[in-house]
Amino acid sequence: MTDQFRIKIAQLNPTVGDLQGNAAKAKQAWLQGVEQGSDFVTLPEMFITGYNTQDLVMKPAFQNDAMNAVRELAKECADGPALGIGGPWVEDGALFNAYFILNGGDIQTIVKKHHLPNETVFDEVRIFEPGQVSGPYVINGVRIGSPVCEDAWHSDVVETLEETGAEFLFIPNGSPYYRGKLDVRLNLMVSRVVESGLPLIYLNLTGGQDDQIFDGCSFALNPGGELAAMLPMFEESITELILNRTDQGWRVADTLKSKIPDQLEADYHAMTIALRDYCAKSGFGKVLLGLSGGVDSALVATIAADALGAENVRCIMLPSEYTSDESLTDAKDMAENLGCRYDYLPIAEGRAAITNTLAPLFEGTNPDLTEENIQSRLRGLLLMAVSNKFGEMLLTTGNKSEVAVGYATIYGDMAGGYNPIKDLYKTRVFDICRWRNEQHRDWMRGPAGAVIPANIIEKPPSAELRPDQKDSDSLPDYYVLDGILTILVDQDGSIDDCVAAGFPKEDALRVQHLLYISEYKRFQSAPGARLSPKAFWLDRRYPIVNRWRER
């Protein structure tokens, strides 16, 4: 009987569909386990395919390739510690979210996920079949129970594992970030260790995949809920955990306990990782954006510089006659502070040509929103031309407040490949700009210091599409707008809830109307980093045509 068990947990960043690349990462982690005498090397849920695969995993050819990759990995890792890795498994025509224990050149055990999440970004009920709850598996004489992700959010699977002799719990996960998610995980896992009396090791993915960001923060808990280890947030980390047998059962020895950042830093890091991985995994080395002199594009430029390095970011000012001298100065200062390339591309000549072309058709009409939107769409056309010519991905810069109420021009400033601040309300944009000016971290590739000029943060927001325009001409003040949207969107609240919170009913009704009529714009908008459980895309799926309104 062994009195010590060494488990190496590999908090790594896979790429969806890169079966060979993901397998290579798993093997490198396993080789470290070989060198250090580990008993068990572990990767997170669905690691061989990357996560979240959505409907890709329903394709039979992909299933076969993934299962073959697991079988080949088992052969390559025959002489050494057992290896745990997640992936799809097909049996008798049914598809399972499975966790494989590879040992001695073969698949020793297959644990099939029982509880399938069917909420927020997950549709696992329509993709996978629920597996039967099974007992623990054995590695080097130690009985280990592995609820797969959601299975640990319910008490029944852990209860079965404890009753059938599990000596500790190892839980592989693919749990994406949202603000405050770590506290939710910790509280639930403390419940599991208190109920079972078993130590628990929670291994999570890290890295970005489309809109989702996996934050890592893998941890270990001892019975009673005492924290024994915490891996860093948003970073790859391979850590050896040592369990020692005591008179009271197994205990995880204290080790690395990374500091968890506050919510502003966590959101900023999430947006940075989301953009960095979206570019890396989709093949873009450089990005560009329209730099207006406003706060949103300033923040996106800063995120891009921190994600990719300033040398890989192009900022373009596209002024019209409504662009203020203040905005021209602020934009140039912003680009210089970051060290990004700065291009100046006036739209006057192109706008005149479009106006002349449309003049016969528009004869007898008065200028209105149409002419404002032409400016925005012309900028989108020019930015996309630069993107096509130089292979640089265009970033869009609309915050969640604007995306919610349609305060953006479809095929204009909404054009682009990714939007880092899509799930960030305007009031929070200001907060994060101030935070970034005061903070710098090792993972930021942009320069330290107050890179966003104070004037950009302090001046009244304006689209500058007509004389003396202010956002407040068309929208409630942002603190009002964001407060109402938080209730209607993030909390699924009612108009009465808005009124009870102190907001005028007419403002709440107006915001509700704008929210619903803008659905078609969001349906066509670029993906962006998910920071909340009610981000626009998979979290909140509303019909485009919708005549219902709360009165």
SS3 content of the chain, % helix, strand, coil (to 5): 40, 20, 40
Residue 323 confidence class, pLDDT cut points 50, 70, 90: confident
The token duo for 313 is 């970011």
463 pLDDT more than 90 = no
The token duo for 420 is 């880092």
In the chain, which segments carry CATH 3.40.50.620? 264-463
Q: Residue 23's pLDDT is what? A: 98
Q: Whose structure tokens read 């980390």? A: 237
Q: Residue 551's pLDDT is what? A: 85
Q: How many CA atoms lie within 13 A of 11 on its CB side?
A: 28
Residue 496's contacts (CB-CB under 8 Å, 6 or more residues apart) are none
Query: Topology of 264-463 in CATH?
Result: Rossmann fold (3.40.50)
Give the C-alpha separation, 106 to 74, whole Å.
5
392 catalytically annotated: no
The token duo for 550 is 């709360």
pLDDT in tens, 205-214: 999 999 999 9
pLDDT in tens, 252-282: 999 989 999 999 999 999 999 999 999 999 9
113 catalytically annotated: yes
Give the C-alpha separation, 108 to 197, whole Å.
27
Q: Residue 472's pLDDT is what? A: 72
Q: Residue 15's pLDDT is what? A: 97
> What value does the mean pLDDT of the chain take?
95
Amino acid occupying residue 230: M
pLDDT in tens, 98-134: 999 999 999 999 999 999 998 888 999 999 999 999 9
Backbone phi, psi, residue 339, to 5°: 85, 20
466 pLDDT more than 90 = no
Report in angstroms the alpha-carbon separations of 508 from 400, 498, 503, 551.
17, 6, 7, 10
Q: Residue 467's pLDDT is what? A: 77
The token duo for 57 is 């995993």
Burial of residue 399, with CB atoms counted within 10 A of its CB: 0-12 exposed, 13-18 middle, 19 or more buried: buried
Cα 518 to its chain centre, rounded Å, is: 23
300 neighbors 335 (Cβ within 8 angstroms): no
Q: Whose structure tokens read 């000029």? A: 453
301 pLDDT more than 90 = yes
Catalytic residue among 25, 113, 286, 422: 113
Nearest to residue 341, comparing CAs of 304, 378, 376?
304
36 pLDDT more than 90 = yes
315 neighbors 354 (Cβ within 8 angstroms): no
Give the C-alpha separation, 208 to 272, whole Å.
9
- Angle at the Cα of 282 (from 277 to 285), degrees rounded to 5? 75
Q: Residue 216's pLDDT is what? A: 97
Catalytic residue among 77, 149, 217, 433: 149
Burial of residue 248, with CB atoms counted within 10 A of its CB: 0-12 exposed, 13-18 middle, 19 or more buried: exposed
Report in angstroms the alpha-carbon separations of 380 from 323, 409, 479, 480.
16, 9, 29, 30
Query: DSSP character for 180?
Result: T
Q: 4-260 sits in which CATH class?
A: alpha beta
In the chain, which segments carry CATH 3.60.110.10? 4-260
Q: Residue 464's pLDDT is what? A: 66
* Average pLDDT of span 278-300: 96
Query: DSSP character for 408?
Result: S
152 neighbors 145 (Cβ within 8 angstroms): no
Residue 476's contacts (CB-CB under 8 Å, 6 or more residues apart) are 484, 507, 510, 511
* Average pLDDT of span 309-313: 98
Catalytic residue among 45, 167, 240, 464: 45
pTM beyond 0.85: the answer is yes
Amino acid occupying residue 437: N
Query: DSSP character for 81?
Result: S
pLDDT in tens, 339-387: 999 999 999 999 999 999 999 999 999 999 898 899 999 999 999 999 9
Q: Residue 1's pLDDT is what? A: 64
Residue 460 confidence class, pLDDT cut points 50, 70, 90: confident
pLDDT in tens, 481-512: 999 999 999 999 999 999 999 999 999 999 99
Burial of residue 412, with CB atoms counted within 10 A of its CB: 0-12 exposed, 13-18 middle, 19 or more buried: buried
Helix (H) or strand (E) segment spanning residue 279: helix 263-282
Give the C-alpha separation, 257 to 217, whole Å.
10
Strand pairing partners for 200? 169, 221
Burial of residue 132, with CB atoms counted within 10 A of its CB: 0-12 exposed, 13-18 middle, 19 or more buried: exposed
pLDDT in tens, 229-252: 999 999 999 999 999 999 989 999
**For the chain, how many residues are written?**
551
Percent of the chain exceeding pLDDT 70 equals 99
